[in-house]
Every structure is written in structure tokens, then in C-alpha cells.
Structure 1
Amino acid sequence: MVIMSELSAAPAGPGQGQQKPLRVGFYDVERTLGKGNFAVVKLARHRVTKTQVAIKIIDKTRLDSSNLEKIYREVQIMKLLNHPHIIKLYQVMETKDMLYIVTEFAKNGEMFDYLTSNGHLSENEARKKFWQILSAVEYCHSHHIVHRDLKTENLLLDGSMDIKLADFGFGNFYKSGEPLSTWCGSPPYAAPEVFEGKEYEGPQLDIWSLGVVLYVLVCGSLPFDGPNLPALRQRVLEGRFRIPFFMSQDCETLIRRMLVVDPAKRITIAQIRQHRWMQAEPSVPRPPCPAFPTLGYTSSLGHYDEQVLGVMQSLGIDRQRTVESLQNSSYNHFAAI
């Protein structure tokens, strides 16, 4: 399969002269969503299903072995995750020099940008969003995956304004009793043990960041800030932050229990779930945490979209290979459709 078709000029003539769209596999690229040093993220649309996706295009030749290993680990982690509030991986394509990672597209962008434009959330709205975030993080932890970069920039909003946790670039696998040591994440969201260069338990690190996230949702600003990194570090190590007058006492107590300097005394996710602030609004949906990843699909053809399978077959895409790819959770162009 040809992975990428370059831009090409259309034949000259009346009303013509425009360029044909860039294609990546079975996707027509529409526009650029973002750029980095070694990668570009494109918005694209699947030619069969018309589903919009985000494609991260990575130039492997510009990455050293350490960063390339990090990218492969991120892909490995995303293949294990299937949760309504985590960005879904659809497909991975690779050539000698390039890597294409196709994921779900969250059309309403980052929570960070939403807060910048609209200000802080009401506590009821923050509670709804935080339940979704907590469910996603709990799901990761239950499968021995730690995110290590929880922040509002990595919380995306889909078409229904529901949370989609993204960017597992700092994610890693962990075992209980085997601490991690790598500096990870954004300084305003980083836990004290990271600033101190200590080894740490992954889940406790994420819980601190969850505390910062909840504060930002409710207040519209960071709990820890400073004119420079040393000043920020000092405030984090002291656990000093201000509570605005409009924050409820229950919300304050929950945040303070997450932002405990001693990681051993930090609240757990199970305790967060049962906290009075979390339980204050019975009508707020409380997403469950599946015990195991719900990977794979039923073998019954009745559960597949027969119309899509028919269109694929008319395009020369083998029907049986598509079904087998779905059943085997293969992240190829068959299953992606």
C-alpha cells in the first residue's frame, strides 16, 4: 500500500489549477493542527467512512535512539488502551524514515484553550469533567500504566465536550514497589518528589497532577506559579497555594488531600471517588473503570457495519482480512476503517 502521495498539480483548464489533496494511506489530509521539532499533526478524513482523524507524522531521521524508543513506547501504551475518555489509536503506518500515528480527533481542542477563552468552570461542570479524567487515569493505573504528564493541554474535548485524555509521550509501565526516577511533565503540574530528583511511585505522581488539574478547572489559574523555575520549585516543595473565595470547602479539602507534599500521605484514586465533593451531585455520570482493556471485537459479522464493508470491498479491500484485523486488534488500515 502506498502510504503517502505527494501534492500534485491538477490538469490545467477552466476552473482547475488547484492542487490535489495530500493523502496518507486511506486518508485525505485537510489541514495542519500543530507542528513540533520532529513531527507535524494533520487533520485528515478517511476516504471510506469520512471519519475525521488526527495523524501525527514523525520524521524518524531527526530522532535519536532515546526519543525514538519513547515514541514506540507511546504507541505500545496506546494499543493497550480502550476507554471512552482516552484518545483512541486507530492505525500505525511506518516506512524506513517516517512514522504515521492515526488517532481519534477531538474537534473542540484543548481544555487549556477552552479555559483561556471562557474562564474557569462552575464546580458542577468541573465535577463532571473531573469524573471523566479520574476514570481515564484510574483505567491506566489498573493496567500498570502511568501518564506522568497530566495537564489541561493534554485534556482534549470531543464534539460532545467530553474529556479525551491524550499524549502518552511521558507514559510508562510500572510495577508496585519498583519506583521510577525520570523527570517528566510540565513544571507547574510536577510533584515535589520530581523537583527533588527522588525516585517516585507513578500513581502518586499522577494524583498530585490531578490535584493541580482540578484546581485549574475550578479556578482558571495554576496553584503553583512563580517568576522563574527556582521560585516555582520552592512553592511546590512547600505545598503553598491560595484558595479563592468562591471555592467550596469540600472542593478545597479534596484538592488539599491530593496536593500533599509527602506522596505516602496523598489520597488514593479510590478515596477520591468516595470524597464528599465527588459525590455531591448525584446526577453527574460516574464512568466505571473496566477491570481489563476491552480490546478486540465480537466475531459476529452482525456487529460490523455491512455498508462500510461493502464499500471497502468495492475498492479492492479484502473483506475477510478486515474482519480478521478487527478480531485481532491489528492497528492496520483494515481495522482503522
Structure 2
Amino acid sequence: MFRPCALGAPSMKNYRVLRTLGAGACAKVKLALHLVTGTEVAIKFICKARQARLEFLAREVACMKALQHPNIIQLFEVLDTPEELLLVMEYAGGGNLLDYLLRRGRLEELEARHKFQQILAAVAHCHARGIVHRDLKPENILMDREHNLKLSDFGLSIECAGAALSTFCGSPEYAAPEIFLHRPYAGPAVDVWSLGVVLYRMVTGALPFRGSDLVELRDRVVSGHFHLPPYLSAQCRDLLGRMMVQDPQGRSSLEAIQQHPWVRPTQGLLAVHEPSPSHHDAALAEAMVSMGDQRQQSQTAVVERRFDEVMGSDLILGPGGGGRGAPRRRRRGRVSPPPRSPAHAP
């Protein structure tokens, strides 16, 4: 039986688990309350004994540490125990894009464009740091309560720095032809293909490639032929045709996609403020001090990217972290949590 570490353990002193959000073969994701700030967070409990390839886990953590963007789920803190690795992350309370599409059906192009721009901005941030996601799909795109999109699940991500990759991975419906053909591939190009499939699903409500089994699906993906419904605008059809090109050499680059006429009308949404790793807000520092942390401790943790207890509190309090920006009510250096609801029992 997979059991998360005891709530009384020192590593969990700042958190109270509320309920389980999801579970897999070697991990569970739980909603928790950060007691220092009164903010809800998601904690991924990863059982090391059940993790077949620990290097994948190390890559996931390294990639998440390198990323800080409003359209990417923010890693706050890493808690390491002999049995488990705990990743404390931003909680997006609006579900995922797949559930949204299943409820809504195909999206009007105006809404689809706005959502696609956010996904594109997140992937561009990853690629600018030499990171490819390799598992882009609606299930891995979360939504906050304002329906802003947040890229998540970096379990298959890797820092490639332009090197050719060879691992067969990702979800078959969103995988590029070169993945199915077991050829060395360029990471950014497979992300572009997957982005095309995600966009197609948003604007049509269906998948471009389907099969009764993996062999049939493979044949259809490798053929590169898919139907473009006539109700799509000419610009949207053109963009999809440029992204899902069988030959990766002829596939649009991310930079070209950002300049495409279908994407550009409100391109300003792609420009976002990204705090530098050394960014430190004086008001946040004062809030940290009022909760018992020393200003120098906080500054050092952020500059050195420690992702420890001090940096976690700083990120949660900061813009995009979901925190209130200041403690609500002080009690022995902590914020008193809201009353516990029976519906949120662990």
C-alpha cells in the first residue's frame, strides 16, 4: 500500500493535507493547506521504491526548478525523505483542459486562440531554457479558477540543448510520426506536432488521428493525412497544416507559429513578466520576517534556488503563487488556517 509520510513528520510541519486529487502507480497528488500563508497547494507524493527509473524523477524536478512562468505550474518546495520525494506545487483549482473540452465541445476560434496563446507562451518558455515537454496533451494542461491555463506534468520532460533524442514516449494520440518510426528526433519539433494536435482538438472537438488499435493509429499518424473541417477559418487551417507536417524538417518552428496571422491578432498576451531567479520583493520580505523567517535567509534561499521551506513560502506569497501577499492573522509566527471542513478530510 502506498502511504504518504506522516503528517507529524518534520518535513510536513508547514502543511495540512486536505484530500486526494489524483493517484497513479507510484505517486499521489493531494490538496494541502500551507499553514504559513493559508494558501492551498498541491503536493505530489512520489514513492521512490515504485519509481522504476529514478533518472526520470530527477529530470522532472530539475526541469520544474528551471521554469518560472505564469502559464506553468510553479514548483514551490521539494521535500526529500528516504521513502518519498514530495513536490509542493501551485494548485490550479479549475480542472484540466480535457474535462473543459468534454463539457464544452469544440471551442470558437476566438476562445481557442486565447487558450492556445497561453499554451504557446508556456512551451516557448520551456524551449528557451532548453527543455522539451514531450507529453503535451489537454490532460496535462490545468486551469485555474479564472480559466487561465497552466502547463503541468513534467515527468517526461528533458533538457536536450539541441541534442537528438531517441526515447519512445508520450501519449500516442499526440505523438509525432518520428516517435512512431523510432527515429532520432528533435525535441522542439515533437512538441510542435503535439501542440498542433491540441489546437485541432480545441477547434474541432475531435482528434486528427484515430485508430481502433495502436497499429492503426500509428499508420494514420505516419501517413500525415488528416481532415480539416470547412467551418475552420482559412488561417486556422493553414496553421494546423504547418504544425502537423510529417517531415519534422518542414514543420513550423515555434517562432514561426508565434508570428502566424492566426496567432498574432492579440500577440500582446504572449508577452509576460518573468521574475528573474534573483528577484526579491521587499514587501514579501517584510511579510516573511513577520512570520518568523529572517530577511537574509529568505533572500539567500531565493537567489540560490534552494526550493526549501523558506523559498517555498516566498514563492507562495509572491505574484502567481496564490498567496494573499501577507499573513492573515499571526499566531506564534504562523497564519491561523481556516476552520476545517468535514468534506476536506484527508
Q: TM-score range by the shorter chain?
A: 0.7 to 0.9
**Counterpart secondary structure, 1:56:** strand
Q: Which residue of 1 aligns with 2:246?
A: 261
- Deviation string 1:71-94 (CA, Å, 9 cap, x unpaired) is 111001110101111110000001
Counterpart in the other structure of 1:50: 38
Deviation at 1:102, TM superposition (A): 0.5
Partner of 1:286: 269
Which residue among 91, 94, 104 is the counterpart of 2:80? 94
Deviation of 1:318 after TM superposition, in Å, equals 4.7
One-letter code aligned to 1:296 = S
Specify the code of the residue in structure 2 equivalent to 1:41.
V
| RMSD (CA atoms) | 2.1
Which amino acid is the alignment partner of residue 200 of structure 1?
Y
Residue identity matched to 1:274: Q
User: Partners of 1:124 and 1:61 in 2: how far apart?
Assistant: 46
Extract unaligned runs of 5+ from structure 2. Answer: 314-346
SS at match of 1:326: helix
Structure 2 counterpart of 1:270, one-letter code: E
More relative contact order in 1 or in 2 (CA 8 Å, sep 6+)? 2
Distance 1:203 1:289 in 2: 21
Q: Give TM-score scaled by structure 2 length.
A: 0.84
After superposition, where does 1:208-227 map in structure 2 within 5 Å? 208-227=193-212
Alpha-carbon separation, structure 1, partners of 2:241 and 2:192: 11
Deviation per CA, 1:169-209: give whole Å up to 9, x if none: 11011132x31000111000000000000000111111101
- Counterpart CA distance in 2 for 1:5 and 1:39 is 15
Offset, 1:222: 0.7
Within the candidate set 269, 284, 303, 2:283 is matched to: 303
Partner of 2:223: 238
Provide the rounded CA distance (Å) in 2 between the counterparts of 1:307 and 1:264.
Answer: 51
* Cross-structure match for 1:122: 108
**Structure 2 residue 130 is matched with structure 1 residue 147:** no
Residue in structure 2 matched with residue 273 of structure 1 by the alignment? 258
Deviation (angstroms), 1:244: 2.2
Aligned residue for 1:160, secondary structure, equals coil
| Code of the aligned partner of 1:334 | V
Please report how far the alpha carbon of residue 271 of structure 1 lies from its aligned counterpart in structure 2 after TM superposition.
1.0
- Matched position secondary structure for 2:43: strand
Q: Is the 8 A contact 1:53 1:102 kept in 2?
A: yes
Matched, 1:162 2:148: yes
Read off the aligned partner of 1:31 and give its amino acid letter: R
Report if aligned partners of 1:4, 1:25 keep a CA contact under 8 Å in 2.
Answer: no
Helix, strand or coil: the match of 1:103?
Answer: strand
SS in 1 for 2:231: coil
Structure 1 position 72 matched with structure 2 position 58: yes
Contact 2:285 2:295 in 1 (8 A): no
Report SS of the residue matched to 2:198: helix
Where does structure 1 differ by over 2 angstroms across 4 or more consecutive aligned residues? 3-7, 305-309, 317-324, 326-329
What CA distance in whole angstroms lies between the structure 2 residues aligned with 1:4 and 1:40?
Answer: 12
The correspondence for 1:322, drawn from 293, 298, 321, is 298
**Structure showing greater Rg:** 1
Whichever residue aligns with residue 297 of structure 1, its letter is H
- Give the deviation of 1:98 after TM superposition: 1.0
Structure 1 residue aligned with 2:178: 193
Q: TM-score, normalised by structure 1?
A: 0.87
Equivalent AA in structure 2 for residue 191 of structure 1: A
Question: Does the 8 Å CA contact 2:7/2:16 hold for their aligned counterparts?
Answer: no
Question: Structure 1 residue 4: deviation in Å?
Answer: 4.7
TM superposition shift of 1:275 = 1.1
Cα separation, partners in 2 of 1:293 and 1:47, compared to 1, 3 Å: closer
| Residue 328 of structure 1, CA deviation | 2.4
CA distance in 2, matches of 1:143, 1:326: 19
Q: CA offsets, 1:279-329, max 9 Å, x none?
A: 2x34x6422378x9822323x6x232524431x21xxx5554233212322
**Deviation of 1:69 (Å):** 1.3
Q: For 1:22-80, what per-residue CA distance to the aligned partner results, in whole angstroms no more than 9, with x for missing partners? A: x933111111000111111000110021111110001112223xx21111110011101
Identity of aligned residues (%): 44
Is 1:137 the counterpart of 2:119? The answer is: no
Give 3-state SS (helix, strand or coil) of 2:70's partner.
coil
What is the letter of the counterpart of residue 324 of structure 1? T
In structure 2, give the amino acid aligned to 1:276.
Answer: P
Give the Cα separation in 2 of the matches to 1:99 and 1:5: 13
Query: SS at the partner of 1:33?
Result: strand
Equivalent position amino acid for 1:288 in 2: A
Partners in 2 of 1:263 and 1:93 — Cα distance? 39
SS in 2 for 1:286: helix
